[in-house]
Amino acid sequence: MNRSLALNLALLAGIAVTVLLSLMAGKVWIPLDAWVADDPRWPIIAELRMPRIVLAVLVGAALGLSGAAMQGYLRNPLADPGLFGVSSGAALGAVISLYFGYAASPLLLPAFALTGAGITMAILALLVGRSGSIIVFTLAGVILSSVAGSMTALAISLAPTPFATSQIVTWLMGALTDRSWDDVTLALPLLALGCILLAFTGRTLDALTLGESAARSMGVDPLRLQLLIVVGVALCVGASVATAGIIGFVGLIVPHLVRPFVGNRPSAVLLPSALAGALLLLVADSVVRALPTVSELRLGIAMSMLGGPFFLILLLRMRRTLA
């Protein structure tokens, strides 16, 4: 004790400071003394930066927490919330709405994405059935994500206009550009519910450290745990993809960043992963927003560019401990 508490407080402070800086920084610098309702620059803060920052924090936290929960559940440090197909399903839903040009109404795309996530989750639950088996769960997830991926590729190749194609490809890269309070209203309840469900898995994930037999003998109900994980991750990932597109690596990287501080116990990793995920995505999104590039660098691409080298470092470190 209590390195966890210290880390959580430090991450919270980091988020607070970054939010403040991020509200000021951007293509236009808005100092603190301009933060009054009658200043002409106030709408930039209230209507453009604020919702975007809130979304970055929410999506980052949900992805970080999902990643930590998935790694704990599968007992595999390389597990990622995208692994079980919900993000591909949500992306497919969004791509279908773009394909048919429904993106005109701002709420149609997220609604399609959420439907995609929901359908994928339902199929996953049907495939896994009442087995509670982690192997079936993983395989079903891999199958679903590859099927959804191939359907997405099909939609891209058959897109009616080059414009639709480019819209789909751009959307798939993931970003928080031009999000409004409507997106926050849509995503917040879903992400919050997902996070609450995942927060309940902590001690059960700890028990799973001892393997399935020992965990069951200690009173762990594998079906209940699987249900919490499936629904929790689906809500978090589905709502994240619906509002931000596919942003990879957050769920994979973040638990690894916090483990050196709080240890490997799965429940100890959950909260700091949520906070670190929020901070990571907030920093990354603030940077891509403030960078003086002609067209904004897509957040999804920025995260992938961070993720690749990170994976490499992870591999090298694992190789050293295995050797």
Partner 1 sequence: MSVLAAESLSLKLGGRRVLDAVSASFVPGRVTAVLGPNGAGKSTLLSCLAGLHTPEAGQVLVGGQPRASWTMRDLARQIGLLPQGADVHWDVDVATLVALGRYPHRTRWGETDADRAAVARAMAATDVTQFAARPMTALSGGERARVLLARVLAGEPHWLLADEPLANLDPAHQLDTLECLRDVARSGAGVIVVLHDLNHAMRVADEVLLLCDGRIVAQGPPAEVLTPERIAATYGVSSHIGTTPDGVRFVVTTPMAQR
- Should residue 132 be labelled a site residue for partner 1 when binding is judged by CB under 8 A? no
218, 291, 305, 318: residue in contact with partner 1 (rule CB under 8 A): 218
- Should residue 214 be labelled a site residue for partner 1 when binding is judged by CB under 8 A? yes
- Should residue 207 be labelled a site residue for partner 1 when binding is judged by CB under 8 A? yes
- Should residue 213 be labelled a site residue for partner 1 when binding is judged by CB under 8 A? yes
- Should residue 320 be labelled a site residue for partner 1 when binding is judged by CB under 8 A? no
What residues numbered 103-122 form the site for partner 1, per CB under 8 A? none
Least Cβ distance, residue 262 to partner 1 (angstroms): 11
31, 40, 162, 219: residue in contact with partner 1 (rule CB under 8 A): 219
Least Cβ distance, residue 219 to partner 1 (angstroms): 3
What residues numbered 63-102 form the site for partner 1, per CB under 8 A? 75
Least Cβ distance, residue 231 to partner 1 (angstroms): 20
Nearer of residues 219 and 309 to partner 1, judged by Cβ: 219
3-state secondary structure the chain: CCHHHHHHHHHHHHHHHHHHHHHHCCCCCCCHHHCCCCCCCHHHHHHHHHHHHHHHHHHHHHHHHHHHHHHHHHCCCCCCHHHHCHHHHHHHHHHHHHHCCHHHCCCHHHHHHHHHHHHHHHHHHHHHCCCCCHHHHHHHHHHHHHHHHHHHHHHHHHCCCHHHHHHHHHHHCCCCCCCCHHHHHHHHHHHHHHHHHHHCCHHHHHHHCCCHHHHHHCCCCHHHHHHHHHHHHHHHHHHHHHHHCCCCCHHHHHHHHHHHHHCCCHHHHHHHHHHHHHHHHHHHHHHHHHCCCCCCCCHHHHHHHHHHHHHHHHHHHHHHHHC
Nearer of residues 203 and 317 to partner 1, judged by Cβ: 203
| Residue window 237-266: x/- pattern of binding to partner 1, with contact defined by CB under 8 A | --------------------------xxxx
What residues numbered 263-292 form the site for partner 1, per CB under 8 A? 263-266
- Should residue 196 be labelled a site residue for partner 1 when binding is judged by CB under 8 A? no
Site of interaction with partner 1 (CB under 8 A): 75, 203, 206-211, 213-214, 216-221, 263-266
